[in-house]
Amino acid sequence: MSQPATQTFYWSLRRELWENRSIYIAPVVVALVLLFGFVISMHTLPSRMIVAADLGHTGERAMLARPYAVAAYLMVVIAFIIGAFYCLDALHGERRDRSILFWKSLPVSDRTIVLSKASIPLIVLPLLIFVIIIAVQLMMLLLSTMALLGNGPGLMTLWAQLPLVKMALALIYALIAIALWHAPIYGWLLLVSGWAKRAAFLWAILPVITILFFETIAFRTSHFALFLGYRVSGWLTQAFADQAADSFAAEPLRSLDPLRFISTPGLWVGLLFAAAFIAAAVRLRRNRKGI
Q: For other proteins, how many residues bind (rule: CB under 8 A)?
A: 31
- 291 counts as binding other proteins under rule CB under 8 A: no
What gap in Å lies between CA 208 and CA 121, rounded to an integer? Answer: 21
Contact 248, 171 (CB under 8 A): no
The distance of closest approach from Cβ of residue 199 to other proteins in the complex, given in angstroms and rounded to an integer, is 21
Question: E strand or H helix at 121, and its extent?
Answer: none
Taking CB under 8 A as the rule, does residue 11 contact other proteins?
yes
Q: Are residues 36 and 91 in contact, defined by beta-carbon separation less than 8 angstroms? A: no
Pick 175 or 282: Cβ nearer other proteins? 282
Looking at the Cβ atoms of 105 and 223, the one nearer to other proteins is: 105
- What is the C-alpha separation between 244 and 255, in angstroms, rounded? 9
195: left (phi over 0), alpha (psi -120 to 50) or beta: alpha
Decide: 201 and 291 in contact? Cβ < 8 Å. no
Distance CA(243)–CA(268), nearest Å, equals 22
Contact between 3 and other proteins per CB under 8 A: yes
How far lies 262's CA from each of 168, 181, 217, 267, in Å? 21, 10, 35, 7
DSSP state of 274: H
User: Crossing angle, helix 110-119 and helix 5-19, to 10 degrees?
Assistant: 50
Q: Is 159 in the site for other proteins (CB under 8 A)?
A: no
Instruction: Choose which of 54, 57, 105, 220 interacts with other proteins (CB under 8 A).
Output: 105
Among 29, 97, 145, 149, binds other proteins (CB under 8 A): 97
Q: Which span (13-21, 171-179, 235-243, 257-265) binds other proteins, by CB under 8 A?
A: 13-21
Taking CB under 8 A as the criterion, the residue among 46, 104, 210, 256 binding other proteins is 104
Per CB under 8 A, contacts with other proteins among 110-139 are: 110, 112
User: Applying CB under 8 A, does 18 fall inside the site for other proteins?
Assistant: yes
Q: Does 247 bind other proteins (CB under 8 A)?
A: no
Q: Give the nearer residue to other proteins in terms of CB position, either 119 or 237.
A: 119
**List 106, 156, 202, 262, residue binding other proteins (CB under 8 A):** 106
Binding mask 189-208 for other proteins (x = CB under 8 A): --------------------
